[in-house]
A and B are shown apart, each in its own frame.
Chain A
Amino acid sequence: MTLSSPPAEVPANGSLAASARRPLFRRVLHNPLGAVTLVFLALVVVAAVFAPLLAPHDPNAVDARNVLAPPGEAHPLGTDPSGQDVLSRLLFAARSSLLGALTTVVVASVLGVGAGLVAGYHGRRFEASASAVSDLLMALPTVVMLLAARSVIGPSSQATMAILGIMIAPAFYRVVSNAVVAVRHELYVDAARVSGLSDARIIGRHVLTVVRAPAIILAAGVGGIAIALQAGFDFLGLGDLSRPSWGGMLNTAFSVIFRSPQQLIWPGLAIGLTCVALILLGNALRDELERTGGPPARRRRSPARSRPVDEPVHSDDDRRESTADDSLLDVDRLSVGYDQPDGSVTVVVPEVSLTARRGEVHGLIGESGSGKTQTAFSVLRLLPPGGRILGGAIRLGGQDLARLSEREMTEIRGRRIAYIPQEPMSNLDPTFTIGHQLAEPLRITLGLGRAAAKEHALTLLARVGIPDPERTYSCYPHQISGGMAQRVLIAGAVSTDPDLLIADEPTTALDVTVQAEVLDLLRDLQSESRMGILLVTHNFGVVADLCDRVSVMREGRIVESGSTREVFAAPQHDYTRMLFGSILAGTEPRGPLAETGPDPATKGLPA
């Protein structure tokens, strides 16, 4: 495994662990947006709960002599067209709004989460029917169905909101069952089963923890939708007219929009701000979760603090020769880093120098995190987002690739440098046919016509050992095997007759018998075209099989470089020797089990 993804933020160990373990609620309070929205929502709840104490008037008291009064001492927010106190109505209306939203959220989450857990964990039959019901409900236009329900049950807002909860439950169901299915396929759940945990405990311990956060985020969103819909129904006059509601107030205000437009302000603000606050709260929750609960940040030793630069060991005189005519690629003191959100730069390759010659296969070997893939991507100038070349030169036939513009680099890629990736299946565009993906670069880089490009692509497919080129040409990537896909990618890489081929662990994802065939293919192609290959790998066998030269990389530096024969015969650097020492091939076999083996483990646990 190489470091093919950019390093995520790697904060100091302590802070990372601490922030991950802090409860979500506390973390949201530290998020500015989260804190503001939570405080606002708390105020709305307080207003609703204590409305009878806070309201200066009876919300339904009509004062016909004092209609549409401006804000004043008796009526802090004025009165409405029938002389009712706006503030009091606003406060009491918060009650029905929150109650309605709560009803929807509770109904939806209980139904959705429950069904999702059962479907996700026990699967099969229940899941099939639950998913069918869920699909059905999701396909229905919610508002129209609620109107239909309203025509039967009358203006009861709680019942309408409960029905909304049923209609919206599939949202919870989907999130939960997907999360559970994903967790169920995690090896740690298998391990928990092997450890003897009951299903209930597995759900409680391993599954619920995964589901909790997305469900809370969803609940915030659903609450927002519920408040908006309830207000909308009240606005249409379909709600319970006997008690104050934000939507009803808005309706009253809308009817006097020409006479007194300021009437719209308060109910409009109440509805809008509450909805926005709920959605923003959901976003803040998600941001907090993604910040720390995201994909694991791979820990790497910081190359920056490694020992002072020791000159790489050269087991032959290739340093002297590197300036000779046969040099194809000359990487000179290249350093690579990733921009961090805080403005700093994490150096992943401090300084690497290597020379690949024309017509030679140069192996770049190292363990994960050694920076070998980063070096390869730098040569292609295809580092992941955030990554950039910090210094040094990459000379290819007199040009310094590190200094070329994006446009100039596009001219180099495909024509002079080509690339074979590690994972065959994920490196083909799933939406285009194999043929299209082979012919497209030919037409663009070589300027071939449609027919000529196809003909060339078919020849290439035959050359890389695809049994039925015509059929494969019209296949989509998911219709072929991994070994075939890798052959297709190799065909694509050599199609434009490049000078240099960058092969990043080209056989790592393949079975060993397929690997042998792919290595044979690479060897044959290389000897036919005399192209240079930079082969990134962690496998000494692959180096021994294919490479003329090898450079051993560690922590972003080359520690040893030389002809494969010499390095393998007599490794000079301690690190290289340590790696050779770890090779299992050729070590003593374990041998048969001694007849009087050790006593079987005694059962029982220590006292």
Chain B
Amino acid sequence: MLRYVLRRLGRGIVLVAVVAVTTFFLLYAGSGDIARTILGDAATEETVLRKQQELGLDRPVSVQFGEWALHAVQGDLGRSWFSGQPVVDAIGSRVAVTLALVVGATLVSALVAVVLGVLAARTGGWVDRVVQAGSVIGIAIPGFLLAIGLVFTFAVTLGWFRPTGYVEFARSPGGWLASIVLPVTALAVSAIAGVAQQVRGSMLDVQRQDWVRTLRSRGLPERRVVYLHVLRSAAGPALSVLAVQFIALIGGAVFVEQIFAIPGLGQVAVQATGRGDIPLVLGLVIVVTVIVVVVNLVVDLLQGWLNPKVRRS
């Protein structure tokens, strides 16, 4: 088991490194005349050159990378070209907000999806058809469209929530909760749909296995067969889908934060992208990749616990 964990951890570190190298070179090689962009067209040739030296852009990309990497492993991801703020600070102040949204949406969707999926697989009939149809629509509707629909319905028309804005948890836990209900819902719908579909499918698959019949033949009560044995085997594939959904939710948060005016990573990302603030963009990519690696590691551990066969591969 320890070897399995170490191998997964090693793979995660390699993934971060590979992403860092490729993104750095692609961004810095493709970024064009940054100094000119920052200073605007009015700047003289001389000031542009000075700005380039200041940013270290006059040196070869590989040298720049070496310097960046050396700082990065010490936790320093450079400074924003535009605001001059350290990238780590710019991201650090926002990351908790985004994680609250994404983790909240993941937990909600895991819970709801398991209930819906099990219900559909167990009862069949119209319940099953409703869950299936709902899943297809939930997967198909883009999250930002849903978010707009929620704002329009619950904030603009019904006035139940404030349409936009974010309340710090420390300031008012109740206000915080109210401010994330709609965004979390907007995010969770597609994840619920995807995971519920998988739970339903793998429950049905597992129920068809020979060993389920054999367990029943041993006189085990139906509830025990389904909720202990079948669900455990079905949980593996569902967990994989949940992990994929988590990654997708980080992307979805970019849109949802914009619509609800929530000061998370998504807002930083959109701003940095629009301006071409390369150090900030690079920092975001690295941070998000680390989050993804950590989540995948946790999921892998859970998989190993669920299914002993996985531990060997």
Give A contacts to B, CB under 8 Å.
Answer: 136, 138-145, 147-153, 224, 228-229, 231-232, 235-238, 250, 254, 257-258, 261, 264, 268, 271-272, 275-276, 278-280, 283, 377, 380, 382, 384-385, 406, 410-415, 417-419, 421, 423, 426-432, 437, 440-441, 444-445, 476, 478, 489, 492-493, 496, 502
Q: In the bound complex, what is the Cα–Cα distance between A252 and B222 (angstroms)? A: 56
B62-70, B111-119, B175-183, B243-251: which lies at the interface: B243-251
Residue of B19, B157, B219, B278 contacting most chain A CB atoms (<10 Å): B219
Contact status B220-A228, CB under 8 Å: no
Q: How far is the CB of B120 from chain A (nearest CB, A)?
A: 15
Q: How far is the CB of B248 from chain A (nearest CB, A)?
A: 7
Contact status B209-A271, CB under 8 Å: no
Q: With a CB–CB cut-off of 8 A, which chain B residues contact A279?
A: 136, 139-140
Interface size grouping (class) on chain B: 35 or more
- Identity of the chain B residue whose Cβ is nearest the Cβ of A428 in the assembled complex: B211
B71-79, B82-90, B165-173, B282-290: which lies at the interface: B282-290
Q: In the bound complex, what is the Cα–Cα distance between A385 and B209 (angstroms)? A: 12
Q: With a CB–CB cut-off of 8 A, which chain A residues contact B232?
A: 431-432
Contact status B140-A444, CB under 8 Å: no
Residue of B149, B217, B254, B281 contacting most chain A CB atoms (<10 Å): B217
Judge whether B23 is part of the interface by a CB distance below 8 angstroms. Answer: yes
From known contacts A275-B142, A276-B137, A280-B136, infer whether A139 and B219 are also in contact, taking CB-CB under 8 Å.
Answer: no
Q: In the bound complex, what is the Cα–Cα distance between A554 and B278 (angstroms)? A: 77
Query: What would 5 A/B residue contacts be, using CB atoms closer than 8 Å?
Result: A141-B250, A143-B255, A231-B142, A418-B218, A440-B220
Partner of A410 from the list B213, B214, B219, B278 (CB cut-off 8 Å) is B219
Q: With a CB–CB cut-off of 8 A, which chain A residues contact B218?
A: 413-414, 418-419, 440-441, 445, 492, 496
Contact status A144-B27, CB under 8 Å: no
Contact status A429-B219, CB under 8 Å: no
Q: In the bound complex, what is the Cα–Cα distance between A280 and B244 (angstroms)? A: 21
Q: In the bound complex, what is the Cα–Cα distance between A250 and B144 (angstroms)? A: 10
Q: With a CB–CB cut-off of 8 A, which chain B residues contact A280?
A: 136, 140
Q: In the bound complex, what is the Cα–Cα distance between A52 and B41 (angstroms)? A: 37
Q: A235-B144, A410-B221, A427-B210 are in contact. List 17 more A-B contacts (CB 8 A).
A: A140-B247, A142-B251, A144-B284, A147-B284, A152-B32, A257-B148, A257-B152, A283-B136, A382-B213, A406-B222, A410-B222, A419-B214, A426-B210, A432-B232, A440-B224, A444-B224, A496-B218
Judge whether B127 is part of the interface by a CB distance below 8 angstroms. Answer: no
Q: Is the interface of A mostly helix, strand, loop or mixed?
A: helix
From known contacts A264-B152, A421-B213, infer whether A139 and B292 are also in contact, taking CB-CB under 8 Å.
Answer: yes
Q: Which of B145-164 contact A (CB under 8 A)?
A: 145, 148-149, 151-152, 156-157, 163
Q: With a CB–CB cut-off of 8 A, which chain A residues contact B217?
A: 380, 382, 413-414, 417-419, 493, 502
From known contacts A276-B137, A431-B308, infer whether A415 and B219 are also in contact, taking CB-CB under 8 Å.
Answer: yes
Judge whether B226 is part of the interface by a CB distance below 8 angstroms. Answer: no
Contact status A430-B233, CB under 8 Å: yes
Q: With a CB–CB cut-off of 8 A, which chain A residues contact B272?
A: 147, 151
Judge whether B36 is part of the interface by a CB distance below 8 angstroms. Answer: no
- Identity of the chain B residue whose Cβ is nearest the Cβ of A254 in the assembled complex: B148
Contact status B219-A136, CB under 8 Å: no
Judge whether B259 is part of the interface by a CB distance below 8 angstroms. Answer: yes
Contact status B309-A478, CB under 8 Å: yes
Partner of B259 from the list A150, A254, A493 (CB cut-off 8 Å) is A254
Residue of B23, B31, B140, B309 contacting most chain A CB atoms (<10 Å): B140
Q: Which of B224-275 contact A (CB under 8 A)?
A: 224, 229, 232-233, 244, 247-248, 250-252, 254-255, 258-259, 269-270, 272-275
- Identity of the chain A residue whose Cβ is nearest the Cβ of B19 in the assembled complex: A140
Q: With a CB–CB cut-off of 8 A, which chain B residues contact A417?
A: 217
Listed from nearest, the 5 A-B pairs whose CB atoms lie closest are: A414-B219, A143-B251, A228-B142, A419-B217, A279-B140
B41-57 to A contact mask, C-beta < 8 Å, 1/0: 00000000000000000
Q: In the bound complex, what is the Cα–Cα distance between A351 and B214 (angstroms)? A: 26
Judge whether B134 is part of the interface by a CB distance below 8 angstroms. Answer: no
Q: In the bound complex, what is the Cα–Cα distance between A251 and B248 (angstroms)? A: 22
Q: With a CB–CB cut-off of 8 A, which chain B residues contact A419?
A: 213-214, 217-218
Q: In the bound complex, what is the Cα–Cα distance between A557 and B276 (angstroms)? A: 79
Q: With a CB–CB cut-off of 8 A, which chain A residues contact B296?
A: 139
Q: In the bound complex, what is the Cα–Cα distance between A307 and B137 (angstroms)? A: 52
From known contacts A144-B284, A148-B285, A264-B152, infer whether A427 and B214 are also in contact, taking CB-CB under 8 Å.
Answer: yes
Contact status B273-A147, CB under 8 Å: yes
Q: With a CB–CB cut-off of 8 A, which chain A residues contact B145?
A: 228, 231, 250, 268, 271-272
Contact status A144-B221, CB under 8 Å: no
Q: With a CB–CB cut-off of 8 A, which chain B residues contact A406?
A: 222
Contact status B219-A411, CB under 8 Å: yes
Partner of A236 from the list B151, B270, B288, B309 (CB cut-off 8 Å) is B270
Judge whether B30 is part of the interface by a CB distance below 8 angstroms. Answer: yes
- Identity of the chain B residue whose Cβ is nearest the Cβ of A261 in the assembled complex: B152
Q: In the bound complex, what is the Cα–Cα distance between A143 and B258 (angstroms)? A: 14
Q: In the bound complex, what is the Cα–Cα distance between A250 and B145 (angstroms)? A: 9
Q: With a CB–CB cut-off of 8 A, which chain A residues contact B258?
A: 235-236
Q: How far is the CB of A270 from chain B (nearest CB, A)?
A: 10
Contact status B273-A150, CB under 8 Å: yes
From known contacts A224-B140, A268-B148, A413-B218, infer whether A148 and B254 are also in contact, taking CB-CB under 8 Å.
Answer: no
Judge whether B107 is part of the interface by a CB distance below 8 angstroms. Answer: no
Partner of A441 from the list B15, B136, B220, B259 (CB cut-off 8 Å) is B220
Judge whether B130 is part of the interface by a CB distance below 8 angstroms. Answer: no
Contact status A232-B210, CB under 8 Å: no
Q: In the bound complex, what is the Cα–Cα distance between A495 and B293 (angstroms)? A: 46
Contact status A426-B219, CB under 8 Å: no
Contact status A136-B215, CB under 8 Å: no
From known contacts A232-B142, A232-B144, infer whether A142 and B255 are also in contact, taking CB-CB under 8 Å.
Answer: no
From known contacts A419-B217, A421-B210, A445-B218, infer whether A147 and B254 are also in contact, taking CB-CB under 8 Å.
Answer: yes
Q: How far is the CB of A156 from chain B (nearest CB, A)?
A: 12
Q: With a CB–CB cut-off of 8 A, which chain B residues contact A140?
A: 19, 247, 289, 292
Q: How far is the CB of B59 from chain A (nearest CB, A)?
A: 19
Judge whether B141 is part of the interface by a CB distance below 8 angstroms. Answer: yes
B3-45 to A contact mask, C-beta < 8 Å, 1/0: 0000000000001001100010011001110000000000000
From known contacts A144-B288, A148-B273, infer whether A476 and B308 are also in contact, taking CB-CB under 8 Å.
Answer: yes
From known contacts A152-B31, A236-B270, infer whether A427 and B211 are also in contact, taking CB-CB under 8 Å.
Answer: yes
Q: In the bound complex, what is the Cα–Cα distance between A261 and B148 (angstroms)? A: 11
Q: With a CB–CB cut-off of 8 A, which chain A residues contact B221?
A: 410, 444
Q: With a CB–CB cut-off of 8 A, which chain A residues contact B18?
A: 136
B88-102 to A contact mask, C-beta < 8 Å, 1/0: 000000000000000
Q: In the bound complex, what is the Cα–Cα distance between A258 and B156 (angstroms)? A: 7
Q: How far is the CB of B199 from chain A (nearest CB, A)?
A: 16
Contact status A276-B251, CB under 8 Å: no
Q: With a CB–CB cut-off of 8 A, which chain B residues contact A271?
A: 142, 145
Q: With a CB–CB cut-off of 8 A, which chain B residues contact A144?
A: 250-251, 254, 269, 284-285, 288
Contact status B140-A151, CB under 8 Å: no
Judge whether B103 is part of the interface by a CB distance below 8 angstroms. Answer: no
Partner of B277 from the list A142, A151, A272, A421 (CB cut-off 8 Å) is A151
Judge whether B216 is part of the interface by a CB distance below 8 angstroms. Answer: yes
Q: With a CB–CB cut-off of 8 A, which chain A residues contact B224?
A: 440, 444
Q: With a CB–CB cut-off of 8 A, which chain A residues contact B19?
A: 136, 140
Contact status A141-B152, CB under 8 Å: no
Contact status A141-B141, CB under 8 Å: no
